[in-house]
A and B are shown apart, each in its own frame.
Chain A
Amino acid sequence: NFMLTQPHSVSESPGKTVTISCTRTSGNIDDNYVHWYRQRPGSAPVSLIYEDILRPSGVSDRFSGSIVSSSNSASLTISGLETEDEGDYYCQSYDPTSHHMIFGGGTKLTVL
């Protein structure tokens, strides 16, 4: 199985823009879709981005996803940061060879 590597934590000020990376360790990042979730303390994860770039209904357009082939990574960008954006962010993909779901280790976002 490949792995997905995320920074342990990021921080930024309200109103600014932050990008969280998700690097695939083997194979090409665009071989399989990447999805993004946010988890607030004590709650279940919620889908923010699916199939690399798509937003589920109801998710703010402040959230956007992209693929950066040069670094074999996916990125989640959050613009106009709000304190409510604080939480843990996870990327996820699927390995069709092993039929395994793969999660990144998660990134803790602090808005201060």
Chain B
Amino acid sequence: QLQLQESGSGLLRPSQTLSLTCAVSGASITSPIYSWTWIRQPPGKGLEWIGFMHPSGATYYNSSLESRTTVSVDRSKNQFSLKLTSVTVADTAVYFCAGVGAAAHFYHWGPGTLVTVSS
């Protein structure tokens, strides 16, 4: 059973860089079955897709966040990461990682981690 767990900086100042990691267990991060993705949810709002890494290594990002976003994989630690630069208060959200299977189905989600941006 695939399991994911987010970790990283919970409180940031504006202009800092958000860095989160998603530890994967139950599957190899290099599995050809899964893409690895990040989603966020501002307080009281809906889900917003951030970006994903395909098994080929290609990365794709939400157009509204692309210039500030990097998703990468660490094979040695079986985890993947999110970096979001130049954060503002609008980036305050619960951030989820997920494993995406065939047909872009989000099979498994991490529990989420709250990131607050405040001066």
In the complex the two chains form, is A90's CB within 8 Å of B105's CB?
no
Query: Looking across the interface, which residue of chain A has its beta carbon closest to that of B96?
Result: A44
Task: Give the docked Cα–Cα distance between A37 and B110 (Å).
Answer: 14
Q: B109 — which chain A residues lie within 8 A by C-beta?
A: 44-46
A33 contacts B by Cβ under 8 Å: yes
Also in contact, A35 and B105, with CB within 8 A (given A99-B60, A103-B49, A106-B46): yes
- Min distance, Cβ A20 to any Cβ of chain B, angstroms: 14
> Which residue of A is nearest B60, CB measured?
A99
Please name the residue on chain A nearest to B100 by beta carbon: A101
Taking Cβ atoms with an 8 Å cutoff, the residues of B that contact A are 37, 39, 46-49, 52, 60, 62-63, 96, 100, 103-107, 109-112
Counted as pairs of residues, one from A and one from B, with CB atoms less than 8 Å apart, the total is 64
Let me know if A100 and B106 touch, CB within 8 A: no
- Cross-chain contact B104 with A101 (CB below 8 angstroms): yes
Instruction: Name the distance in Å between A110's Cβ and chain B's nearest Cβ.
Output: 16
Contact partner of B46 (CB less than 8 A), chosen from A32, A51, A90, is A90
Which of B49, B52, B103, B110 is in CB contact (< 8 Å) with A33?
A: B103
Number of interface residues of A (CB under 8 A): 28
Most buried by B among A1, A92, A105: A92
> Which residues of A are found within 8 Å of B52, using beta-carbon distances?
101
A100 B49 Cβ-Cβ under 8 A: yes
Ordered by A's residue number, 12 sampled pairs between the chains whose C-beta atoms are within 8 Å are A32-B104, A35-B106, A37-B106, A44-B109, A45-B47, A45-B106, A50-B107, A51-B103, A90-B47, A98-B63, A101-B49, A103-B47
Contact A102 B49 (CB under 8 A): yes
In whole angstroms, how far apart are the Cα atoms of A61 and B111 in the complex? 25
Q: A93 touching B46 by the CB < 8 A rule?
A: no
- Give chain B residues whose Cβ lies under 8 Å from the Cβ of A104: 46
B104 lies within 8 A of A33 (CB): yes
B10 to chain A, nearest CB (A): 16
In Å, the complex CA distance between A51 and B48 comes to: 20
Q: How far is the CB of A50 from chain B (nearest CB, A)?
A: 4
Cross-interface CB contact of A93 among B48, B104, B111, cutoff 8 Å: B104
